[in-house]
């Protein structure tokens, strides 16, 4: 894609929930048009990082204590959440949140509220969403609560896309989905990105995330333990063992140890 015009820059960000320090001096960049993934175990601070970018921390009782966030060179860390959306950054929060009693169509409409662009822009965003997720067109008038879990996740992603973001923040889109549905979500993320939207993808499913991403950051207890281009991370045995759950070939007698130790991971050879 080239150009750094619409890069997200997180610099030395620290976040707390009252006395709980959730992020310490985290720095991260998402170049324009890139897919960047943030990996890490439960409680590492992945969701906190996305909330800090989308300015939704206060809904969870959290606050940024130091550091800065800019998008396209403009500070966005003083904005209200709807202004962040207007600036081109939309979040799909953790846990497949849809308005269960509203129709699919109204859920999507809600995603376009407050977003920049006229009616034509919104109509074209809706066409894009229906193109990516035909099921959302078929179920347009159905209540969102009646959709399957995977379909609700599609709706949550579709709703964020209705704002035509330049950067999509995705919090564990594959969580709780059957492998086939997770694979479909992954394909869709790739397609969304190829249409020009940068993606900051939080995942515990490292296998899925690393297939999609250009660059990865590993968070451990609120700090960046490791970062780099996905291909570079793959080259280090240390990284493979510690963070990707891949064991040495000679120890890996039945080929299943890694999968048992880390149920969400597959062997690196399968990842690449
Ligand atoms: N609303 C909250 N109030 C208090 N502490 C919180 C809150 N949300 C998260 N934390 C704490 O902040 C730290 C980071 O949590 P966060 O939810 O960002 O982790 P995560 O990497 O997204 O984990 P998971 O993979 O389980 O979703 C954890 O110690 C967690 O207990
Ligand atoms: Mg989380």
48 in ligand 1 pocket by Cβ < 6 Å? Answer: yes
User: Which residue carries 């490292």 as its tokens?
Assistant: 206
| CA-18 nearest atom, ligand 1 | 4
* pLDDT for position 119: 84
The answer on pLDDT for 30 being more than 90 is yes
Any ligand 1 atom below 6 A from CB of 213: no
CATH number of the domain at 8-235, out of 2.130.10.10, 3.40.720.10, 3.40.50.300, 3.30.70.3270?
3.40.50.300
pTM for the structure as a whole? 0.88
Q: Where are the domains of the chain?
A: 8-235, 246-272
* Share of residues in the chain with pLDDT > 70 (%): 85
Strand partners, 23: 15
Residues contacting 143, CB < 8 A, separation 6+ = 100, 101, 102, 103, 104
Q: For a pocket test of ligand 1, which of 43, 51, 172, 264 has the largest count of ligand atoms closer than 8 A to its C-beta?
A: 43
| Span 153-198, pLDDT tens digits | 999 999 999 999 999 999 999 988 888 888 999 999 999 999 999 9
């Amino acid at each position: 894609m080239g150009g750094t015009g619409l890069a997200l820059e997180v610099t030395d960000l620290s976040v707390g929930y009252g006395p709980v320090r959730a992020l310490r001096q985290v720095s991260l960049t998402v170049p324009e048009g890139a897919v960047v993934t943030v990996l890490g175990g439960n409680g590492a601070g992945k969701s906190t990082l996305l909330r800090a970018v989308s300015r939704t921390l206060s809904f969870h009782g959290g606050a940024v204590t130091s550091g800065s966030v800019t998008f396209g060179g403009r500070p966005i860390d003083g904005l209200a959440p709807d202004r962040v959306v207007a600036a081109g950054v939309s979040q799909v929060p953790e846990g497949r949140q849809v308005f269960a009693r509203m129709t699919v169509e109204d859920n999507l409409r809600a995603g376009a509220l407050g977003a920049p662009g006229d009616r034509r822009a919104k109509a074209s965003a809706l066409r894009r969403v229906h193109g990516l997720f035909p099921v959302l067109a078929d179920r347009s008038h159905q209540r969102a609560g009646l959709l399957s879990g995977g379909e609700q996740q599609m709706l949550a992603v579709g709703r964020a896309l209705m704002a035509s973001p330049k950067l999509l923040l995705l919090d564990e889109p594959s969580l709780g989905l059957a492998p086939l549905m997770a694979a479909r979500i992954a394909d869709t993320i790739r397609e969304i990105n190829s249409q020009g939207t940068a993606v900051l993808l939080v995942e515990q499913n490292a296998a899925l995330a690393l297939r999609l991403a250009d660059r990865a950051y590993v968070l451990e207890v609120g700090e960046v333990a490791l970062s780099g281009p996905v291909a570079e991370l793959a080259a280090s045995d240390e990284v493979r063992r510690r963070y990707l759950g891949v064991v040495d070939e000679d120890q890996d007698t039945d080929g299943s140890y890694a999968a048992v130790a880390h149920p969400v991971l597959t062997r690196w050879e399968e990842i690449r």
